[in-house]
Amino acid sequence: MNWTQIFVEALSSVGITWLAIFIFGKKILEKALDAEIKKSLADYQKKLNTDLQNEQQMFDVAKNKFLKDYEFQLKIKDRAAGVAELLSVAFSNSYTPERFNRLAWDLSLWLPAKIVCDLSRCLCREKDAKKPQEILIEVRKILLGEPDALTWDNIIYRPMNSFTIQQQKKVIGAPNLVQNEWEVFC
């Protein structure tokens, strides 16, 4: 054997050894990279699920707040409608004492005492009593939480026919009790 053959055989065995190391190293590296990628994907999925749960919780909180605000707005509108209905009933000729009392008593449960007293004086037509529109503005301030640009003289209304004494006598069923058309409320 000559040196050339020895050299070629040595290179071949070294080359085969390097080739084997390269192939096995590549497989080991691929498995290590594959495991690392799977671990990273699992971590990312876990973080994504946590973020999604947090977003869902924030959405639920915002949704619940919106629904509560909406329900509160509906309640405000209902209460405001109660004041308007009482005034409308009081100045109409088609009320019943039961309906009038129910509305007045319901409003007295949530309106501040000053407004209840102003409303009573208005409905009894006392001297220096506030006008119905002024009371509506006061209630509006309470319901909105703050005054706004609307004033009592901006509220339009159509004057209603007042009760005649005869109509009142029919409604309350006491012909001798009514002295004037507003005594029925006081």
* DSSP SS3 for 11: helix
pTM above 0.85, yes or no: no
DSSP assignment letter at 175: T
Lowest mean pLDDT among 15-19, 77-81, 143-147, 154-158: 15-19
pLDDT at residue number 66: 95
- Sign (positive/negative) of CA torsion 173, 174, 179, 184? negative
Question: 41 is in which domain, residue-wise?
Answer: 3-185
Give the number of domains in the chain.
1
pLDDT band at 14 (very low <50, low <70, confident <90, very high): low
DSSP-derived secondary structure for 22-79? HHHHHHHHHHHHHHHHHHHHHHHHHHHHHHHHHHHHHHHHHHHHHHHHHHHHHHHHHH
- pLDDT tens by residue, 121-156: 888 888 888 988 888 888 888 888 787 888 888 787
pLDDT at residue number 11: 58
- The answer, yes or no, to whether residue 6 has pLDDT greater than 90, is no
